[in-house]
Amino acid sequence: MLRRALPALLALIALVADLSGSHSVAHGFLLAAIPAAFALALECYGDALEARCGGLRPLAAAGAVALLVLSAALRSPAVVGGVPRLAVSAVVLTLLLYAGALLGALLAPGPISRPGAAEESQPDRLAA
């Protein structure tokens, strides 16, 4: 569970650091969030291949990785003159993507089971 929440938590800490004026701390947290977000995107893609989720969750996770990379690139030390607004907006959009994925996971219906499915499997277990 922590593995799925880690990228969003790191992005949230980066946003709070940005809002408080600590842009170098925010950059560090964004750089730490990128590998965690990439691992989450791979996990979501694996879940989609195994039909445990729809195709929107891997797309949202991949979009979040792209936005985190964009934000980190925009605020690199080579850019002089402060942090661009687009860098902060990318972090906010990343958090919105993660919130949407969480909301979708919470509102998704559970696996549908047939009423007679349990009765059909018991004779097969007894015969074996």
Query: Can you give the chain as a three-state secondary structure string?
Result: CHHHHHHHHHHHHHHHHHHHCCHHHHHHHHHHHHHHHHHHHHHHHHHHHCCCCCCHHHHHHHHHHHHHHHHHHHCCCCCCCCCCHHHHHHHHHHHHHHHHHHHHHHHCCCCCCCCCHHHHHHHHHHHC
- Give the pLDDT score at 112: 47
- Give the pLDDT score at 100: 86
Predicted TM-score (pTM) of the model is 0.77
Whether residue 61 has pLDDT greater than 80? yes
Whether residue 39 has pLDDT greater than 70? yes
Whether residue 104 has pLDDT greater than 70? yes
Whether residue 94 has pLDDT greater than 70? yes
Higher pLDDT: 57 or 123? It is 57
Picking from 6-10, 73-77, 88-92, 117-121, which range would have the lowest pLDDT averaged per residue? 117-121
Whether residue 97 has pLDDT greater than 60? yes
Write the single-letter amino acid at 76. Answer: S
Average of per-residue pLDDT values in the chain: 81
Whether residue 115 has pLDDT greater than 70? no
**Overall average pLDDT of the 32-54 stretch:** 85
- Give the pLDDT score at 29: 95
- Give the pLDDT score at 80: 67
